[in-house]
């Protein structure tokens, strides 16, 4: 469960939940014996026999199964939940499969035909693959190969006992290793809760393996460097803490404060029960058997390191997900975001719009809002599975997307300040690359007439927001000999001096299809498999797009560029084309000068070096 999720739907009493352990002084069958405070005689009283549950973590069979910790070759101590704890779980009769990753067994469900299209479903915290019990049969019967793993530390997977083992980057790596071990390709990925934070990162790093992507109450978290608001907990058990229902009842409504409380509670509660958390964050009433099933993997606190520490993984997340976010902003294959109407955080309308407006592949798909809470798979699992089936059966997968480098689809803004130098008009190019991300609200607030006056420039030319097409920049892009960078504030946006541009031909204005000379020593790199967009002039010279712009069309997305030629008013003899690279492309300046043009929509292109 992650930050915005901590708003339970309704507060329920625990009267329908059984007490799983009866604590008493002495118990002999059905006879309770207590000490008499006044004398040494025993008071003997017949009491009803209280039987342990027939299934789950506190069943007699589970508790009777002793288990000693083991150690991997790398020194990771772990426990294995006894199989008896999983006997006869309600609605979960799937065969167990395991793959070994770094000496630890990772469990997964694998149902349906082995040659069927793969549906990979990732759960969050504190759930496990049991969460997908209502969806798996429907998808498998429709001919899909349905795979639902348990994160290491949860479900039937091995359980490292050290809470510090559970770090975000490690779980990302384990999930990637799982996909590679099973040699999964053309994956229909379904993610929720922490499964979305991990899964969206994986999808952004391995987009060529993802055929379709579905999010249900999820997000990809990022915090600016030094601005992560969360602190790592102590993990010292606090016996004064109440049960899960009491925690939610007293939790702050402030997202940041409330999630810090969840981090601390999960880490220090003496009896954190997964089933009770699921009960709080669903709109339906889970049965006692279902609650017991969610608790089944965790006979005692030693097995709970993962569900105790997953919230604390948030404290280690800063901007390592940025590349994945940028790549997903170019993901053109089918994408769908479904939400639980009663999840006011990860299922909010704002979250749904954030993702459906960011991912090009979201266009035209049926992004639904279900009458459900955070754990939407429990509330409307069957309906969700049928909706997912329709999505997969009615959408078409196109070419795979190559994972992006640090520049690919990176959002930035520039301000050009032209000055008269003799008979030439030379513009300083100030920009956000290497400094920040150019928030739209701050960009919209800029007064360019005032910027021009403040800087004594001929004018101030807004050049953003823009998004890079290339993957990398080699050799840097600072002015001059790579000396001390220069920075300047434009309103609330910090920019650095990137380069200079000779605008003499256009007399200080940014003219369309008129070459400008930019001082630059760097090399733009486009990966093999990347789609590129090119203009060819009347003389056969080829310019490759280096960035697309939202200056003229604020809704332009990278996936729209394939048909960009229909929107351009090209000069006579010019053509627009698009192709997928069969090999790496490097576009360099010549003698420190790059020839750059813009089209009608302010997208920028650089002349290929062989043409200069």
- 502, pLDDT greater than 60: yes
> In which domain, by residue range, is 460 found?
411-611
Q: Cis bond leading into 472, ω under 30°?
A: no
Same domain, 341 and 193: yes
Residue 60 confidence (pLDDT) above 90? no
pLDDT band for 66, please (50, 70, 90 cuts). low
Arithmetic mean of pLDDT, 400-410: 95
In a domain, 154, yes or no: yes
Domain boundary among 274, 298, 316: 316
**DSSP secondary structure code for residue 41 in this structure:** P
Helix, strand, or coil (residue 343): coil
218 pLDDT higher than 60: yes
36, pLDDT greater than 60:
no
> Both 266 and 193 in a single domain?
no
Same domain, 169 and 263: no
91 within domain boundaries:
yes
pLDDT at residue 26, as a whole number: 29
Residues 386 and 452 in one domain: no
CA distance 60 to 53: 7
Mean pLDDT, all residues of the chain: 89
Domain boundary residue, one of 365, 394, 423: 394
Residue 92, both tokens? 């979960």
Q: How many domains does the chain have?
A: 3
343 is catalytic: yes
Angle between helices 168-181 and 194-205 (to 10 degrees): 60
CA 32/CA 583 separation, integer angstroms:
78
Among the listed residues 409, 489, 410, the one whose alpha carbon sits nearest the alpha carbon of residue 442: 489
Return d(Cα 104, Cα 495) in angstroms, integer.
47
Give yes or no for a contact between 194 and 175, defined as CB atoms under 8 angstroms apart. no
Q: How far apart are CA 584 and CA 595, in angstroms?
A: 21
| Statement to judge: residues 576 and 507 lie in one domain | yes
Please compute, for residue 309, the number of CA atoms within 13 A of its CA located in the half-sphere on the CB side. Answer: 26
pLDDT digits (tens, 9 = 90+) for 198-216: 999 999 999 999 999 999 9
The active-site residue, picked from 150, 292, 343, 383, is: 343
> Which of 495, 496, 494, 492 is closest to 441 using CA atoms?
492
Cβ atoms of 434 and 474 closer than 8 Å: no
Contact 197, 6 (CB under 8 A): no
Classify residue 479: in a domain, yes or no. Answer: yes
Verify that 104 and 212 share a domain, yes or no: yes
Q: Quick one: tokens of 458?
A: 């001929």
By the 10 Å C-beta count (0-12 exposed, 13-18 middle, 19+ buried), 254 is classed as exposed
- In the chain, % of residues over pLDDT 70: 88
Write down the catalytic residue from 110, 150, 158, 193.
193
Cα-based distances in Å from 414 to 419, 535, 595: 16, 23, 18
- Residue 66 forms part of a structural domain: no
pLDDT at 3: 45
- Active-site residue flag, 193: yes
- Parallel/antiparallel/unpaired status of strands 210-216 and 187-191: parallel
Tell me the CA distances in angstroms from 152 to 66, 101, 133, 297, 350, one per residue in order: 21, 9, 19, 12, 32
pLDDT tens per residue, range 126-178: 999 999 999 999 999 999 999 999 999 999 999 999 999 999 999 999 999 99
* CATH number of the domain within which 348 lies: 3.40.50.1820
58 or 107, higher pLDDT: 107
CA 473 remoteness from chain centre: 25
Omega within 30 of 0 (cis) for the link into 341:
no
Q: What are phi and psi of 160, to 5 degrees?
A: -55, 135
Check whether 253 has a pLDDT greater than 50. yes
pLDDT in tens, 77-123: 999 999 999 999 999 999 999 999 999 999 999 999 999 999 999 99
Average pLDDT on 246-254 reads 94
Tell me whether residue 143 is in a domain.
yes
Q: Give the model's confidence band at 611: pLDDT under 50 very low, under 70 low, under 90 confident, else very high.
A: low
What pLDDT does 20 receive? 29
Can you name the residues that pair with 79 across neighbouring β-strands?
159
Burial class (CB in 10 A: 0-12, 13-18, 19+), 109: buried
Query: What's the pLDDT score for residue 57?
Result: 64
- Asked if residue 37 has pLDDT above 80, the reply is no
Q: Quick one: pLDDT at residue 503?
A: 85
Q: Are residues 236 and 170 in the same domain?
A: no
Q: What is the pLDDT of residues 171-199, one digit of tens each?
A: 999 999 999 999 999 999 999 999 999 99
pLDDT-derived band at 30 (thresholds 50, 70, 90) equals: very low
330 lies in the same domain as 279: no
Predicted confidence at residue 51, as pLDDT, reads 59
> Could you tell me if residue 337 is inside a domain?
yes
Q: Are residues 449 and 566 in the same domain?
A: yes
pLDDT tens per residue across span 306-362: 999 999 999 999 999 999 999 999 999 999 999 999 999 999 999 999 999 999 999
Q: Is residue 584 part of a domain?
A: yes
Helix (H, G, I), strand (E, B) or coil at 12: coil
Query: Does a structural domain hold residue 102?
Result: yes
pLDDT the model gives residue 506: 60
Based on the fold, state whether residues 258 and 123 are members of the same structural domain.
no
Statement to judge: residues 361 and 510 lie in one domain: no
Candidates 478, 479, 597, 477; CA nearest to 546 is: 597
Q: How confident is the model at residue 598 (pLDDT cuts 50, 70, 90)?
A: very high
Q: Indicate the pLDDT class of residue 21, thresholds 50, 70 and 90.
A: very low
Q: Is 477 a catalytic residue?
A: no
Distance separating alpha carbons of residues 477 and 497, to the nearest angstrom: 9
User: Do 484 and 356 have their domain in common?
Assistant: no
pLDDT digits (tens, 9 = 90+) for 519-542: 888 899 999 999 999 999 999 999
Kindly write down the DSSP assignment for every residue of 118-161, as one continuous string.
EEEEE--SS--GGGGTTTHHHHHHTT-EEEEEPPTTSTTS-EES
Helix (H, G, I), strand (E, B) or coil at 362: helix
Tell me what the mean pLDDT of segment 259-286 comes to.
97
Instruction: Examine the fold and report which residue of 348, 365, 394 is the final residue of a domain before the chain moves on.
Output: 394
Per the residue annotation, which of 374, 383, 471, 477 is the catalytic one?
Answer: 374
């Amino acid at each position: 469960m992650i930050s915005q999720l901590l708003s339970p739907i309704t507060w329920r009493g625990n009267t329908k939940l059984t007490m799983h352990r009866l604590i008493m002084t002495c118990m002999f069958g059905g006879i309770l014996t207590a000490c008499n405070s006044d004398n040494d005689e025993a008071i003997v009283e017949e009491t009803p026999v209280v039987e342990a549950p027939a299934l789950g973590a506190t069943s007699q069979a589970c508790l009777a199964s002793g288990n000693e910790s083991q150690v991997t070759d790398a020194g990771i101590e772990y426990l294995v939940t006894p199989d008896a704890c999983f006997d006869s779980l309600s609605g979960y009769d799937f065969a167990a499969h395991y793959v070994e990753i770094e000496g630890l067994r990772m469990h997964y469900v694998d149902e349906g035909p082995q040659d069927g299209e793969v549906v990979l479903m990732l759960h969050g915290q504190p759930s496990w693959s049991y969460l997908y019990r209502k969806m798996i049969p429907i998808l498998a019967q429709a001919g899909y190969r349905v795979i639902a793993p348990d994160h290491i530390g949860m479900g039937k997977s091995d359980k490292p006992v050290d809470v510090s083992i559970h770090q975000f980057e490690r779980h990302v790596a384990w999930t990637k290793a799982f996909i590679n071990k099973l040699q999964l390709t053309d994956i229909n990925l379904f993610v929720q809760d922490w499964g979305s934070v991990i899964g969206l990162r994986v999808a952004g790093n391995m987009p060529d393996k993802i055929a379709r992507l579905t999010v249900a109450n999820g997000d990809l978290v990022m915090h600016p460097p030094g601005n992560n608001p969360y602190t790592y907990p102590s993990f010292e058990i606090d016996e004064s803490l109440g049960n899960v229902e009491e925690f939610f009842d007293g939790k702050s409504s402030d997202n940041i404060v409330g999630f810090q409380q969840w981090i601390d509670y999960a880490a220090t509660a003496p009896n954190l029960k997964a089933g009770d958390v699921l009960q709080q964050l669903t709109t339906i009433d889970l049965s006692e058997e279902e609650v017991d099933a969610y608790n089944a993997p965790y006979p005692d606190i030693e097995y709970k390191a993962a569900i105790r520490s997953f919230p604390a993984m948030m404290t280690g997340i800063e901007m390592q997900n940025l590349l994945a976010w940028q790549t997903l902003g170019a993901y053109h294959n089918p994408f769908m975001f479904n939400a639980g109407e009663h999840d006011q955080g990860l299922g909010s309308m704002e979250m749904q719009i954030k993702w459906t407006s960011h991912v090009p592949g979201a266009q035209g798909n049926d992004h639904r809002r279900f009458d459900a809470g955070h754990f939407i798979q429990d509330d409307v699992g069957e309906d969700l599975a049928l909706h997912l089936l329709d999505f997969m059966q009615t959408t078409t997968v196109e070419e795979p997307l190559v994972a992006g480098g640090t520049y690919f689809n990176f959002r930035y803004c520039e301000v050009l300040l032209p000055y008269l130098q003799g008979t030439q008009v030379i513009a300083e190019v100030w920009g956000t690359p290497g400094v920040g991300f150019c928030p739209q609200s701050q960009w919209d607030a800029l007064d360019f007439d005032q910027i021009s006056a403040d800087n004594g420039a001929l004018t101030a030319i807004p050049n953003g927001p823009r998004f890079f097409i290339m993957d990398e920049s080699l050799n840097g892009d600072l002015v001059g000999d790579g000396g001390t960078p220069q920075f300047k504030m434009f309103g609330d946006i910090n920019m650095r001096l990137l380069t200079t541009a000779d605008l003499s031909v256009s007399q200080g204005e940014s003219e369309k299809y008129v070459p400008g000379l930019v001082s630059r020593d760097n090399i733009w790199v486009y990966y093999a498999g990347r789609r590129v967009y090119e203009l060819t002039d009347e003389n056969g010279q080829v310019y490759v797009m280096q960035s697309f712009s939202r200056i003229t069309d604020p809704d332009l997305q990278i996936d729209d560029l394939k048909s960009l030629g229909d929107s351009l008013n090209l000069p006579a003899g010019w053509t627009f084309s698009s192709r997928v690279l069969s090999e790496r492309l490097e576009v360099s300046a010549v003698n420190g000068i790059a020839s750059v043009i813009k089209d009608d929509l302010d997208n920028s292109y650089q002349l290929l070096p062989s043409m200069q």
